[in-house]
């Protein structure tokens, strides 16, 4: 197996430099090769995408790019069963400083807080009734339309 590989790396601000890649730096270099720098500090993935997230193969396993980035740059903080969440809410960002370990719950709460959760953004039920405090009941953590509930009750009585 080759232990050293030389590669030319194009710098984002112009110019190029030669990198000597070892087994340990190759995965990071593969990530950086597909990076576009954004003004807010995001490292935007320019390679293969699936469902809005960057995808890459590492050690014969398909990874989301942000998860692999966190694993490679912050291995001591990486927890296999946890979620790698974005502080910047950009699915294509893989800057390890914009990522943190979290739970499914914390990830969903972030989405609700930032207006990215599909259900939290709904203002009306499927039948067109507005979700107002008077017309909304919470059952099992989900919003339910009281007007629709009354219609269902009437249908059951008949």
CATH 3.90.75 domain range(s) in the chain: 5-121
Q: Which two tokens stand for residue 71?
A: 């694993």
CATH of domain 5-121: 3.90.75
pLDDT in tens, 41-78: 999 999 999 999 999 999 888 999 999 999 999 999 99
Q: What is the dihedral of CA 73, 64, 44, 46, to 10 degrees?
A: 120
117 touches 106 (CB < 8 A): no
- Single pTM value for the model: 0.65
Closest CA to 131 of 154, 148, 153: 148
pLDDT in tens, 70-119: 999 999 999 999 999 999 989 999 999 999 999 999 988 888 888 887 88
pLDDT in tens, 24-42: 558 898 899 999 999 999 9
């Amino acid at each position: 197996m080759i232990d050293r590989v030389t590669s030319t790396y194009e710098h984002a601000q112009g110019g190029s430099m030669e990198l000597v890649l070892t087994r340990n730096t190759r995965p990071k270099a593969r990530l950086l090769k597909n990076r576009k720098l954004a003004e807010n500090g995001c490292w935007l993935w320019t390679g293969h995408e699936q469902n809005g997230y960057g995808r890459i193969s590492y050690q014969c396993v398909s990874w989301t790019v942000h998860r692999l980035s966190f694993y490679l740059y912050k291995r001591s903080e990486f927890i296999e069963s946890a979620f790698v969440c974005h502080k910047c809410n950009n699915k294509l960002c893989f800057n390890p400083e914009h990522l943190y370990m979290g739970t499914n719950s914390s990830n969903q709460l972030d989405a609700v807080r930032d207006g990215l959760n599909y259900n939290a953004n709904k203002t009306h039920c499927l039948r067109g009734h507005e979700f107002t405090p008077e017309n909304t009941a919470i059952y099992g953590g989900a919003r339910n339309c009281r007007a629709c509930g009354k219609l269902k009750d009437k249908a059951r009585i008949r």
